[in-house]
Structure 1
Amino acid sequence: MNINSTLISGYQALNDLGYLLQDKRAALLVTDKNIAVIPAVQSVIEQVCGKVASLKMIDNVPPEPRAQDVEAIVASLGGKSFDLVIGIGGGSVLDVAKLLSVLCIGGAPDLTALLAGEKPQKRITSLLIPTTAGTGSEATPNAILAIPERETKVGIISPVMLPDYVALVPELTVSMPASIASSTGIDALCHLIECFTSVAANPVSDNYALMGLKKLFANLEIAVARPDNLAARLEMLWASYYGGAAITHAGTHLVHAMSYPLGGKYHIPHGVANAILLAPCMRFIRPAAVAKFAQAYDLVPDAITSLSDEEKSHALVEYFSALVQRLKLPASLEALGIGREHLPYLVEAALDVQRLMKNVPTQVGADDVRHLYLTLFQTQDC
């Protein structure tokens, strides 16, 4: 699957959007209320208002959008036509913007049809601008929606949803609280290491994964501790983008499959759920991915390169565990109010995410998933 997006990157890279807007008449801008007030976002809005005849702004995208949320947004637009969709925000906002780029066009399948597997054939011109460095949504053909009646999340996937333009602008990420920078950064890490070890991994996805891992290992903790470090923030945006590109060419597996029920039923933030699962899941798949774990470990700052591949693979898992602790992210499900009585549901729901489970590089069954969830109850919050 080719990614043909034009990339715009760097500090103040959005200061002049005239060349993107010169032939546009009606724009739809998708964001949320917290993002809309950021000065740099206000500047984008002012530019769009000055160049297009009509601007409609949707600023109420929820953190974990449901299918009915998207349907309500479509209904509120009343069939109005647009020739540009701009998404500015985290992964949820960008996913909704991608969906609107294919739903708000004449003759498009509706959301029910997309959820049933029908594929869109065309989209409105789209520009995606991430304000967090984690989901990589701007580089994936996926849009993830919560389905409350099934207590899970589902992905709508089509290369048509890949955007025309992507802007990676570090000043838009400096307002992220440390907890969000940490959890979204771990989300990007999960994308990179899962795609690197997926059974669907290939030279293209491996290149993206290795470039992203190198940037993430070197910059995540700096970006969290020093939000005004624009160089580190930009490197994290690129790490996140590479994670999304790796997803597009390979796919995630065990961490994401097991985190979906935590988000779908218990509304645990996606990056937090992934952080809890990262080290246990990587420890489980390690024997099947020793060489790749060793390759990834060599990118860790101060890596001991004289170790054997087997030793490096163990060291990488321990690095993941220590990183989550240093970032002060939760380390147990009890800390999030989820008790052991929920185990049967969690196991069944995770195994149901076959789209991702089929990418795990080793055999995984119900007993394995149950044991992995159990380790999250045995771990104490750091």
Structure 2
Amino acid sequence: MNIFTTVISGGIEQMYQVLSNEQHLLVMTDSNVIKLDKVQSLVSSLEKQGYQYTLISDLPAEPTNHDVESLIDKLPAAVDVVVGIGGGSVLDISKLISVLYASNTDHLDNFNRLLEGEKPAARIPLVLVPTTAGTGAEATPNSIIALPEKATKVGIISPVMLPDYVVLAPELTTSMPPHITASTGIDALCHLIECYTASVANPVGDNYALIGMQKFFSNIEQVIEKPQDLMVRLNLLWASYYGGASISHSGTHLVHALSYPLGGKYKIPHGLANSLLLVPVFKFVQPHCVDKLADVYRLLPHADLTLNSEEMSLALVAYIEQLVSKLALPTYLNEIGITRDDLPELARNAMNVTRLINHSPVAVNEESVLSIYQSITK
């Protein structure tokens, strides 16, 4: 098993470089992605060229442990390669399933042990094709599963979950509605800027984060104005990939910790939850990471380099706030059906995401987390 990923960019047809029709493929996607002309063409081509494959095309968004249990019942007895084509949820499930096939034990028993904290030790060959430029799941060693009974999510994490191949095909992202393009794009920014400012930040992760943020800031506004521009789309796919690579070497912190309860209990899409929390979290942490936020500000296309570091860090947060507004994303929890009465439970559940809370650049408690939620609730 190879845990070093090869990235191929240019188009979904590039996938034939890494597949053999002597292998039985498990192709996994969701009900929206399977409707894309390019994906339909790929599936038809697999059949015409004699590939053996099983297609599962109804994977859920924000998958729960119950969703995975239901999926396990549908899996074929054996496959040689897992191919995941979709957004973060599809890619996360694909990684998880590739691990389950590598074990000689019952899939369901193996899954339950992973939920309880056992680390994945092996997987079968894995190819991932992202269809959104945001989650970076194709570059992370994580599979995130929602636990509705606990109103949160859990991360199953191991380097063995990094894929053998990633195919960056910008034509698969052009059909995304503007609000999905926007929210997934902000999700990529969250990965990059959180990893860069995390307590566990390091030079390797920082390098990925800075490259990714430069690509993000240079293309995020253009993609709304020119949604069919494949080079802009590809640059955002690279920004997303670098976000995932940053996570692999560092880790996200408060934006993700506070967004997990929104997805775990309320099924709020991950990118949308992060876009709501990005600005209030960075207003909160700005005094504690001035120099790093000034570094990020210098990447903006129209940065004012005459400002001092404090001014740059504040200007960056102001720019991000304007960007979220320009992308027409919600800015208050009330807009997604959450009221002030819900906030104490959200704060308690967020504090349980200790893996991410511990990465914060400043110590937090339940009261400070509650204050962040309150700042975006009318």
**Per the shorter chain, which TM-score range?**
over 0.9
Query: In the alignment, what sits opposite 2:66?
Result: 68
Say what the alpha-carbon RMSD is for the aligned residues. 1.5
Q: Is the 8 A contact 1:74 1:104 kept in 2?
A: no
Query: In the alignment, what sits opposite 1:32?
Result: 30
Asked if 1:97 corresponds to 2:58, the answer is no
Counterpart AA for 2:228: D
In structure 2, distance between residues paired with 1:209 and 1:16: 26
| Post-superposition offset of 1:274 | 0.9
Query: In the alignment, what sits opposite 1:166?
Result: 166
In structure 2, distance between residues paired with 1:302 and 1:273: 28
Counterpart AA for 2:175: S
In structure 2, distance between residues paired with 1:198 and 1:285: 10
Query: Quick one: structure 1 residues 229 and 256, their matched pair in 2 at CA, closer, same or farther if it must change by over 3 Å?
Result: same
Asked if 1:376 corresponds to 2:376, the answer is yes
Q: SS in structure 2 opposite 1:156? A: strand
Q: Is the 8 A contact 2:21 2:52 kept in 1?
A: no
| Post-superposition offset of 1:50 | 4.2
Query: In the alignment, what sits opposite 1:150?
Result: 150
In structure 2, distance between residues paired with 1:252 and 1:133: 17
In structure 2, distance between residues paired with 1:245 and 1:364: 26
Query: In the alignment, what sits opposite 1:211?
Result: 211
Query: In the alignment, what sits opposite 1:290?
Result: 290
Q: Is the 8 A contact 1:24 1:83 kept in 2?
A: no
Asked if 1:346 corresponds to 2:346, the answer is yes
Asked if 1:129 corresponds to 2:129, the answer is yes
Query: In the alignment, what sits opposite 1:83?
Result: 80
Q: SS in structure 1 opposite 2:74? A: helix
In structure 1, distance between residues paired with 2:251 and 2:50: 38
Unpaired segments of 5 or more residues in structure 2?
A: none
Q: Is the 8 A contact 2:22 2:52 kept in 1?
A: no
Q: SS in structure 2 opposite 1:110? A: helix
Query: In the alignment, what sits opposite 1:44?
Result: 42
Query: Quick one: structure 1 residues 323 and 369, their matched pair in 2 at CA, closer, same or farther if it must change by over 3 Å?
Result: same
Query: Quick one: structure 1 residues 23 and 41, their matched pair in 2 at CA, closer, same or farther if it must change by over 3 Å?
Result: closer
| Post-superposition offset of 1:53 | 4.7
Query: Quick one: structure 1 residues 364 and 83, their matched pair in 2 at CA, closer, same or farther if it must change by over 3 Å?
Result: same
Query: Quick one: structure 1 residues 3 and 210, their matched pair in 2 at CA, closer, same or farther if it must change by over 3 Å?
Result: farther
Unpaired segments of 5 or more residues in structure 1?
A: none
Counterpart AA for 2:24: A
Asked if 1:186 corresponds to 2:186, the answer is yes
In structure 2, distance between residues paired with 1:24 and 1:324: 47
Q: Over residues 64-112 of structure 1, what are the superposed CA-to-partner deviations in whole Å (9 max), with x where a residue is unaligned?
A: 111121121121125x111111000000000010011111234256110
Query: In the alignment, what sits opposite 2:19?
Result: 21
Query: Quick one: structure 1 residues 335 and 16, their matched pair in 2 at CA, closer, same or farther if it must change by over 3 Å?
Result: closer
Q: Is the 8 A contact 1:185 1:220 kept in 2?
A: yes
Query: In the alignment, what sits opposite 1:306?
Result: 306
TM-score normalised according to structure 2 size? 0.96
Query: Quick one: structure 1 residues 70 and 340, their matched pair in 2 at CA, closer, same or farther if it must change by over 3 Å?
Result: same
In structure 1, distance between residues paired with 2:50 and 2:137: 26
1:186-265 pair list within 5 angstroms: 186-265=186-265
In structure 1, distance between residues paired with 2:174 and 2:17: 26
Q: SS in structure 1 opposite 2:73? A: helix
Counterpart AA for 1:247: I
Q: SS in structure 2 opposite 1:15? A: helix
Q: SS in structure 2 opposite 1:27? A: strand
- How many residues of Structure 1 are paired with residues of Structure 2 in the alignment? 374
Query: In the alignment, what sits opposite 1:5?
Result: 5
Q: SS in structure 2 opposite 1:307? A: coil
In structure 2, distance between residues paired with 1:247 and 1:314: 25
Query: In the alignment, what sits opposite 1:321?
Result: 321
Q: Is the 8 A contact 1:259 1:277 kept in 2?
A: yes
| Post-superposition offset of 1:184 | 0.2
In structure 2, distance between residues paired with 1:251 and 1:30: 27
| Post-superposition offset of 1:51 | 4.7
| Post-superposition offset of 1:23 | 6.1
In structure 1, distance between residues paired with 2:49 and 2:160: 26
In structure 2, distance between residues paired with 1:259 and 1:322: 20
Query: Quick one: structure 1 residues 199 and 248, their matched pair in 2 at CA, closer, same or farther if it must change by over 3 Å?
Result: same
Counterpart AA for 2:154: V
**Runs ≥4 residues deviating over 3 A:** 16-19, 50-53
Q: SS in structure 2 opposite 1:117? A: coil
Q: SS in structure 2 opposite 1:359? A: coil
Q: Is the 8 A contact 2:3 2:164 kept in 1?
A: no
Q: Is the 8 A contact 2:15 2:167 kept in 1?
A: no
In structure 2, distance between residues paired with 1:164 and 1:315: 40
Q: Is the 8 A contact 1:83 1:125 kept in 2?
A: yes
Q: Is the 8 A contact 1:136 1:244 kept in 2?
A: yes
